[in-house]
Amino acid sequence: MLWNASRYGVPAFLLAGCLNASVGQAAEPAWPPGEGQALAKAVCTACHSVTTVARSSGYDAEAWAKLFGTMVALPAAESVQLATYLAEVFPPRDHRAAQLRPGPHHVAFEQWQVPTLGQRSRDPVEAPDGRIWWVGQWGNLAGVLDPETGAMREYPLPAGTYPHSVTLDASGTPWLLGNKNGTLQRLDPETGAIAVFPMPDPEAKDPHTGEFDAAGRLLFTLQQSNRVGRFDPATGQIDLIVLDRPKSRPYGIKFAPDGAAWVACNGGPCLYRIDPDTLEQTRVDLPNQESHVRRLDVAADGTVWYVNSGAGRLGQYNPKTQRFKEWPSPSGPASHPYALVVVDGIVWYNESGVRPDPLVRFDPQTETFQSWPIPSSGVYAGILRHMRADRAGRLLIHQSATNHLLRVSPDPS
Ligand code: HEC
């Protein structure tokens, strides 16, 4: 093979994860002709299809080099050839332009690029010691960042884990959701030792997102397996239920003030309420068939806020009145809202279907939107897939394409 991706600083284990990640994709469309075509094919399709590149907003050569520099390390001459080629065949376009909404509020972004390139960094979460944990899904790793010093440490995970998320128990210990090998894993931050807890049912394949409840139990979703699980670290017991709507693809999960877990359906128009004690499930059907929901959060008053990813809307469900309300997201029906968190009564989410991927602020009191492009060291690219707040009310976010973690301070003084 003339071009070998491992020559370009893509570690073998990462390639395994990338190739794994692209299994099941449709036949690969061709790279446009040009000098650099063979290089692009060899280097870029190691991790994802050309479609990922063709769908982008396009860049000039300088920005292309910055962008793929977050994914792969190339020798200078090849980097120049590739950037020139990409700028020629995929120049800047506005086919997916975001509709940014101006407004009176300010946000401050702090950002960090994580060490292993192209790892699909995601799901940052704050530990009690102020450090920020994340996972590199395709890099098969977990990492921790000290935001005070910028120091980072990455921990390799057992082969085949491909963690979808990390969440912390009350003591601040990180737990990983092994999306490809059907496990939960506890990581010892000192030694890097991993304790593995496999799913007790072979049909429960893909732990996805999880949160610990006040009783110390981990409630988690399994998207493709259409299941919700409950893990008790005190006993090691894992209980699983199958959701009553086939292919509902349970995705985001959050707790309400009454202790119930709420689960988003990425596969259809529904939400579920799960009782963590009995695992009793109550399905709430959303009004429109095109609706599906990546993530949700529950406000202090019990209101469930969700992204209607399918219809490009922000939604609200009041369990007391059983009423829905939805608002069109600023970038419209194809905006694909994705991650969401409610902080101090303000709803924050992003529009992953457009570029840049905007961070959107919605004030339920005034029903007004404001949005900002999410930066990554000089480029705008990628998707925010999950966000949580730290104890100071700052948003912890990421861009899965550019290897960046970010912290957002709302209304900095
Ligand atoms: C080591 C893995 C890796 C390699 C090699 C790689 N990428 Fe990526 N790339 C990623 C990841 C991870 C994402 C985010 C995918 C996701 O979130 O689903 C991404 C996403 C993208 C996106 C989409 C950005 C957006 O706005 O959504 C573009 C464009 C892109 N890559 C270009 C390239 C080009 C050009 C090359 C070749 C020079 C390349 N990539 C090589 C890992 C890689």
Calpha distance 391→396 (Å, rounded): 10
pLDDT tens-place values along the chain, 413 residues long: 233 445 444 555 455 445 444 444 456 689 999 999 999 999 999 999 999 999 999 999 999 999 999 999 999 999 999 999 999 999 999 999 999 999 999 999 999 999 999 999 999 999 999 999 999 999 999 999 999 999 999 999 999 999 999 999 999 999 999 999 999 999 999 999 999 999 999 999 999 999 999 999 999 999 999 999 999 999 999 999 999 999 999 999 999 999 999 999 999 999 999 999 999 999 999 988 999 999 999 999 999 999 999 999 999 999 999 999 999 999 999 999 999 999 999 999 999 999 999 999 999 999 999 999 999 999 999 999 999 999 999 999 999 999 999 999 998 87
Distance 141 CA to ligand 1 centre (A): 18
Q: Is the Cβ–Cβ distance between 110 and 406 less than 8 Å?
A: yes
Calpha distance 282→276 (Å, rounded): 12
pLDDT of residue 411: 86
Taking alpha carbons only, the member of 341, 381, 326 closest to residue 358 is 381
Nearest atom in ligand 1 to the alpha carbon of residue 53 is 29
Taking alpha carbons only, the member of 185, 286, 300, 171 closest to residue 231 is 185
Q: Is the Cβ–Cβ distance between 221 and 253 less than 8 Å?
A: yes
Among 6, 19, 53, 116, which residue has the most ligand 1 atoms within 8 Å of its CB, making it the best to mutate? 53
Nearest atom in ligand 1 to the alpha carbon of residue 403 is 12
Q: Is the Cβ–Cβ distance between 265 and 273 less than 8 Å?
A: no
pLDDT of residue 26: 56
pLDDT of residue 59: 97
Q: Is the Cβ–Cβ distance between 146 and 153 less than 8 Å?
A: no
Nearest atom in ligand 1 to the alpha carbon of residue 8 is 5
pLDDT of residue 29: 80
Q: Is the Cβ–Cβ distance between 137 and 122 less than 8 Å?
A: yes
Give the dihedral sign, CA 385/390/395/399.
Answer: negative
pLDDT of residue 412: 83
Q: What is the pLDDT of residues 132-141, one digit of tens each?
A: 999 999 999 9
Taking alpha carbons only, the member of 100, 111, 137, 51 closest to residue 385 is 137
